[in-house]
Amino acid sequence: MSASREFRIEPSSQMVPGWTQLPPLALKGVGTAEVESLQHYYGRLIWTTRITTLHLRRYINKHAKIGIDHSSSFRRALILGPAAGGLLGQLQMLTGVDDLRYGTLWALSEVVSRNCSLFGAHKRRWCPECYANWDNNQSYEPLVWSIDLLGCCPKHNCDLEYACPKCHSYQRETSRPDQRRICWVCKASLAQGARWRSRPAMMQWMDEQVIQLVEYCATPRLAPMPWMDYVTFVSGVRSNARKNGALQGSMRQLLQSVDKRARRHSRRPSIRTLFNLCCLQGISVRELLNAPKEASSPLLLDHWASASYMPLPPIVQVQRIYMAVRYLEDFLGANPPYLPPIDLLLKPFKVENLAVRDASAGLFDQYESRYLAQGTSDYLAVLRKTFLCALHASHQRFKGSESSKADLAEMAGSSGEAASKVFSAYLLVRAPQRLLRIEQYRKELPVRESLKWLLERQSMLAYRC
């Protein structure tokens, strides 16, 4: 492993004894899944001492080996980035508190990607009920809120919020605890609008894994989890998979890519990948982290053929799947005279056709049936060629007039009837109209809500089966 990715924190016993430059505030909840996040600790330290964020950041930049240039990189440094070692070391030296690393994912710093599922779109989240019961002396924001795969508050079981319930604005970071609980735009209280909703079993399982992962990171230890422990686990799962017959395509693809990257150390896994592997192996993330070699044993030796496994896609990809499904619904609802091949229709969304079918099998199959019913394979090939000509020449020649249909027929070498059908469908899918619909769909389902939508869809399909 390269030196830039490694860091160790020296214990406070090696520091110069005596008074510390900053008060030795204790990190709250060490050793539990409710450990305080270092981000909140940093704000609490500033609020207690009344020093400015800029002053403390300049001091850390002066003494740390890797500086912190602006707030976004500072936030990443509080978690896993290359500046984390210097930042933690400086904060521990200034405060004399040697367990601050347990308020971060330091325990996984040699394994998990720095581009992990933390903060989503770099916006903070909170529990309205926790804010409503806030005690300035005892309350704090836990690290678990920062894991984007966590859906609800472990204490109150209500949804974690990421936007103001009144004006829907994202919230800024601030060190003032009183200002963190009111919207910086409309000044409405963020301690309202709590939502309790039924959650699919898969999402409940994910929440439990997030809690276990944070508890592992909050438990005092001398060194992070070694990279080779993760490689051992992946190699064991991959070896067992080879011995136990053919796997489903999604399982096989996941294992092949993960095993290849682990051996080459070409890409670190995300938290989502760790959860996928646990789901595949039928174990909890606690078992993976505490006993990786034992957890890779053939626990599902007699159940590989019937193992129920669903990869968790990135939430941005899930939003694209949702938009593709909605676009398919609206296009069918318009009842156009021609249905283009589904791969051409959904190409702008950059999603796999099978992913769309998994999310809405009935709609997908309906479209395919109507597409095939339009004529013979030769006629469908002519229509496809004509549709491609319309797409490629749209920015030059077509304005929606009758002469455009004749131009299209001439360009594609097709009949006037085929050109007329295709042109009517083209008017529905050309770029300006499609972009307006995509923006509408994106507002319907925010990124943070997308994974819940997909899991609810899949749970519904499984229930019907």
Alpha-carbon span 112 to 104, nearest angstrom = 12
Do 319 and 290 belong together in one domain?
no
In 3-state terms, what secondary structure has residue 88?
helix
- Pick the last residue of a domain from 306, 341, 368: 306
- Pick the last residue of a domain from 268, 284, 306: 306
Do 329 and 427 belong together in one domain?
yes
Contact 168, 188 (CB under 8 A): no
Residue 195 located in a structural domain:
no
Ranges of residues in the chain whose predicted pLDDT is under 70? 1-18, 61, 63-86, 115-122, 175, 244-250, 298-314, 394-403, 448, 458-465
Cross-strand pairs, 177: none
Residue 6 located in a structural domain:
no
Do 376 and 322 belong together in one domain?
yes
Do 254 and 361 belong together in one domain?
no
For 114, 150, 210, 261, the CA distances from 281, given in Å and listed in that order, are 24, 21, 17, 18
**Residue 178, both tokens:** 């009183």
Question: In this structure, how many other beta carbons lie within 10 angstroms of the beta carbon of residue 198?
Answer: 8
Instruction: Tell me which residue has tokens 């210097």.
Output: 86
Helix-strand-coil split of the chain, %, nearest 5: 55, 0, 40
Alpha-carbon span 367 to 341, nearest angstrom = 9
Do 448 and 418 belong together in one domain?
yes
Residue 8 located in a structural domain:
no
Residue 208 located in a structural domain:
no
Do 458 and 362 belong together in one domain?
yes
For 78, 223, 258, 359, 453, the CA distances from 93, given in Å and listed in that order, are 16, 19, 39, 52, 46
Do 144 and 87 belong together in one domain?
yes
Alpha-carbon span 223 to 437, nearest angstrom = 50
Do 276 and 321 belong together in one domain?
no
Residue 388 located in a structural domain:
yes
Alpha-carbon span 448 to 150, nearest angstrom = 10
Do 280 and 323 belong together in one domain?
no
Residue 273 located in a structural domain:
yes
Do 297 and 333 belong together in one domain?
no
- Pick the last residue of a domain from 263, 284, 306: 306
Residue 403 located in a structural domain:
yes
Alpha-carbon span 183 to 187, nearest angstrom = 5
Do 112 and 251 belong together in one domain?
no
Domain that holds residue 430: 315-464
Render 291-325 in DSSP notation, one character per residue: -HHHHTS-TTTTTGGG--------HHHHHHHHHHH
Do 394 and 455 belong together in one domain?
yes
Residue 1 located in a structural domain:
no
CA dihedral 162, 77, 4, 106 (to 10 degrees): -80
Structural domain total, the chain: 3
**Residue 248, both tokens:** 């489903």
Nearest to 206 by CA among 27, 28, 458, 31: 458
Nearest to 37 by CA among 217, 286, 269: 217
Q: What are the two backbone dihedrals, phi and then psi, of residue 161, each rounded to the nearest 5 degrees?
A: -100, 155
Per-residue burial over 275-287, b if 16 or more Cβ lie within 10 Å, else e, is bbbbbbbebbbbb
- Regarding pTM above 0.85, the answer is no
pLDDT on residue 192: 92
pLDDT on residue 10: 44
